[in-house]
Structure 1
Amino acid sequence: MKMRFIVPLIAAAGIALSAPVSAEDYVIDTKGAHAFVQFKISHLGYSWVLGRFNDFSGGFSYDEANPAASKVSVTINPASVDTNHAERDKHLRSKDFLKVDEFSQITFTSTGYEVMGDNKAVLKGDLTLHGVTKPIAIDVTHIGAGKDPWGGYRRGFEGTTKLTLKDFAIPMDLGPASSEVEVFLSVEGIRK
């Protein structure tokens, strides 16, 4: 089965944020494997294929006094797609799906952050996938923030969104049950 991707990813990534002068800047902790860009897509309506992107980077800014000014930027290497099946991953990298030889990056840049209350927000931004840029919205939960055992300071978010493959000109069509991909992002940032 072939997937439709993200990104997710943004985030999500994403899913982090940024702000003006009093904002704190964070680097997404991919080195310590404390961030994930994962996806789920129906296989013909009979089961689910789960996967992730292993290679991505990014950062965000967040201001507790003005969360609406938050920003995030993430870059994903689509060739790092991993569904735990080498032949399927090879197909996902091909012209039928991600066409990684031509489109070597998936990017997400935020354009807005709408606070909903109870640590919930909607992160809006532009996702570029398969050479197509579209606005997307990611439902975000602020998990928490605080000191870590190594003298640093961390902040974490999770987010979900759905992407329609045809919106990003992904040519493979496996039918209506497989037309959308669900994206889950878990992001832990280390304050600079």
Structure 2
Amino acid sequence: MKLTCLAGAFTGVLLSGSAFAADNYDLDPTHAWVSFKANHSGWSNAHGTFKTVSGAIEFDKDDVAKSSISLKIDANSIDTNFEQRDSDLKSPDFLNVAEFPDITFASTKIEKTGDKTALVTGDLSLAGTVKPITLDVTWNIEAPLPWDAKTIKTGFSATGKFNGQDFGLKKLADFGLGPDLLLDIDVEAIKK
């Protein structure tokens, strides 16, 4: 939940020394996957995904620290492959989607860790609580679409984790879940 700053960090690493202004990207909602998993009483990991994700990325190729990412996730779009569980997770005991319909992430800091990797720290807003989390991000590639050379797309993968109880999801333990939620994020974004 899950990123854009990394895009800036990685592009900046690859194109360092070039005199470009910051580039702006819109997430491609048909190529954005934000998923999570949590330990389920030791039996396995319970998985879920959010089907509706949007966002924007801005990165400065000369100074990646000036880059940024913002993500917005429709909390009501949660899908855990079981309708009753989805309904439970949307309730006030968990995501409380009626009161807090959006989950957001806004970057506050980018730290380069390698040629194509970075740590992106940002504020996660979930179920009415805002706390910082850090994502490990990998910049995958930037290239034109094979069928449309005028459309440039970039892509990132990210992972991270946080304690769900820190965000008020107190009922996780009652259901044998967590407490840590592991994030797995893949996004593609189109250059404006």
Q: TM-score, normalised by structure 1?
A: 0.87
Percent of counterpart pairs with the same letter?
37
The 8 Å contact of residues 13 and 37 in structure 1, kept in 2 or not, is answered as no
Contact 2:3 2:137 in 1 (8 A): no
Structure number having the greater helix percentage: 2
Corresponding residue for 2:54? 57
Q: From the CA coordinates, give the structure whose radius of gyration is larger.
A: 2
Q: Partner amino acid for 2:80?
A: T
Per-residue displacement from partner, 1:128-155 (whole Å, max 9, x unpaired)?
1010000111011111111112230011
Q: Which amino acid aligns with 1:179?
A: P
Q: Which has the higher contact order (CA 8 A, sep 6+)?
A: 1
Q: Stretches of 4+ moved more than 6 A in 1?
A: none
Pick aligned residue for 2:87 from 84, 87, 90: 90
- Is 1:44 aligned to 2:41, yes or no? yes
Q: In the aligned structure 2, how far is the partner of 1:13 from the partner of 1:23? A: 12
The alpha-carbon deviation at position 67 of structure 1 amounts to 2.0
Q: What number of residue pairs does the alignment pair up?
A: 180
> What is the RMSD of the two structures over their aligned residues, measured on CA atoms?
2.0
Tell me the SS of whatever aligns to 2:173.
coil
Question: Secondary structure at the residue paired with 1:28?
Answer: strand
Contact 1:160 1:183 in 2 (8 A): yes
Question: Quick one: distance in 2 between partners of 1:66 and 1:145?
Answer: 18
Listed as ranges, the gaps of 5+ residues in structure 1 are 1-7
Deviation at 1:14, TM superposition (A): 7.9
Q: State the secondary structure of the residue aligned to 1:178.
A: coil
Question: How far is the alpha carbon of 1:13 from its aligned partner?
Answer: 7.4
* Residue equivalent to 1:178: 178
- Per-residue deviation, residues 100-127 of structure 1 (Å, max 9, x unmatched): 1111111111111111113110001111
Secondary structure of the equivalent of 1:90? Answer: helix
- Three-state SS of the structure 1 residue aligned to 2:42 is coil
Asked whether the equivalents of residues 13 and 159 of structure 1 are also in contact (C-alpha less than 8 Å), the reply is no
Q: Write the distance in 2 (CA, Å) between the matches of 1:15 and 1:37.
A: 16
| 8 Å Cα contact 2:164/2:181 also seen in 1 | yes
